[in-house]
Chains A and B, each alone.
Chain A
Amino acid sequence: MSKLRTGSTWRARIRTAEDGLATGLAVLSTVLVVAPLVAIFVYLIYKGASSLNLAFFTQIPKPEGQEGGGMANAIVGSGVLLALASAIGVPIGIGGGIFLAEFGRGSKLANAVRFTADVLNGVPSIVMGVAIYALVVTPAMPFSAISGGLALGIMMIPTVTRTTEEMLLMVPHAVREAALALGVPNWRSVLSITVKTASPGIITGCMLAFARVAGETAPLIFTAFGNSNWSVALNQPISALPLEIYRYAISPYDDQHRQAWAAALVLVVLIVTAVSLVRYVASRGVLKGAS
């Protein structure tokens, strides 16, 4: 009897040790996931915060070599480009996802669309920039906000399409049947029931795509081009934060290096704010107990 008991305490100790080990590994992994993010953010604040001042948000860049100035045009330019990109990428992406999950399921066209989206997702962003440059940027339509927005918008499509499809497929079959059994036409059931049920996931997908293209530099070099002056005209070259970061980071002037850090900080904060804001607005309509 006593032997048995020793045996069981021994086993209990092993179990406790195993439990501790597993928990420890999980905690360690969490730390490893969060650490780079925190490190980047802390370093950005350390390097960039000191260069942030009112002028940074209200003035346009000073000519080469002069101290001061700001990036007001780049902040607004990024906003314009991202608005254009979202206006192109979100509706097309969601529409594609709805087609894949609801109407084209199993068809050859759907498989082709899915394959294209996956390939498009893997196209390097610089290639996207060059492609838009070759296809859209012409004497009639020179470097412009529109071509930049188009490049970013096309880059958003595959992410939005694939997440929309996956989120729609997660909506239980029973929910679709419930709508059909009420005599609701299929298209109406898809739009008002299935898409609505999947909307939190779809919004997350859109935000992921948005955050990804918000920091893209390469596709803008050949399309939006950048602009040192005030411009919000859609058919003119336009400035953007990633472009300015790129330009200032490789410039020979210390003041521009500092401004690049500040711009990087502002870009990250703007992306986080935009994503949080959309999530907040989207979650306000959710009812108590809704999945």
Chain B
Amino acid sequence: MGVGIEVTNLNAWYGANHTLQDINLNIPANHATALIGPSGCGKSTFVRCLNRMHETNPIARVTGTVRIGDLDIYTDAKPVEIRRRVGMVFQRPNPFPTMSIYDNVAAGLKLNGYSNHRVLDEIVERSLKDSALWEEVKDDLKKKSGASLSGGQQQRLCIARALAVDPEVLLMDEPASALDPVSTSKIEDLIFQLKSQYTIVIVTHNMQQAARVAEKTGFFLNGRMVEFDSTHKIFTNPSDKRTEDYITGRFG
């Protein structure tokens, strides 16, 4: 089951660049939350702070607290433990090119020392079914490389890989922006189904996408969160002028 995320006074820097300023936000459990805003506004940095991927960049720095469920991720646990509970899907599909489809899905478990084949088989099958890829790949699981799939299939493979470690939260950083419309709609359907089991945070440039998949939407601008409300309210009756300008296409 998913858990809620509570962000308090989050600040982040890349070198001298103050990319996130005083973010406060409560992301509800088992819902999809969309983050929108122009390029460079800090929304990708924000999701990368939620699984501590931000700090893999040596010049990056973070202050503030992020509680995921009952865990303060910056004080209570190591980054590797956080990342097992908070899965991530990136903008460009990034399967492991030398691994088979099966090994890609099992990678998170295998690389953390898990080796019970019967259980792995079950988890791989369940994850691929959950990511709506099973029917397309079930005959080539161990024969084909993850890189041999189409872009849309690769992205669903990456979702399966993230689901296989049984996370509570799934972060998606523009998961469909490198895909064609058919693959995009498959990913959106998937988000719709997955949000009953996981807390989903999705960064997107596509406002229709945000409106379609998310119950809550946050609008970021220049490293600050301008407005956070129900998706319906943000897109029909935003309380901040800047949000209105953005969603009506006046800038960004």
Contacts and interface: CB of A to CB of B under 8 A. Distances in A.
Chain B interface mostly: mixed
B107 A289 contact: no
B100 A183 contact: no
Contacts of B87: 181-182
A177 interface: yes
Interface size class of A (residues with CB under 8 A): 20 to 34
A268 B111 CA distance: 42
Contact of A183 (B84, B92, B98): B84
Interface in A153-183: 172, 174-175, 177-183
B90 interface: yes
Given A182-B161, A183-B84, A199-B98, A174 B53 contact: no
A184 B110 CA distance: 10
B102 to A, nearest CB: 10
A15 interface: no
B100 A182 contact: no
Contacts of A184: 80, 107-108, 111-112
A175 B97 contact: yes
B209 interface: no
Given A182-B161, A183-B112, A289 B96 contact: no
A286 B146 CA distance: 12
A182 B53 contact: no
B205 interface: no
Chain A interface mostly: helix
A200 to B, nearest CB: 9
A179 B90 CA distance: 12
A73 B149 CA distance: 52
B165 A290 contact: no
B147 A291 contact: yes
B81 interface: yes
Contacts of B95: 178
B127 to A, nearest CB: 12
B221 interface: no
A195 B111 CA distance: 14
Interface centre among A177, A181, A196 (most CB of B within 10 A): A181
Contacts of B9: none
A289 B145 contact: yes
6 contacts: A178-B90, A179-B107, A181-B83, A197-B97, A286-B98, A289-B149
Given A189-B111, A286-B98, 11 more contacts: A172-B94, A174-B92, A178-B95, A181-B83, A182-B161, A188-B112, A287-B148, A290-B98, A290-B145, A291-B98, A291-B147
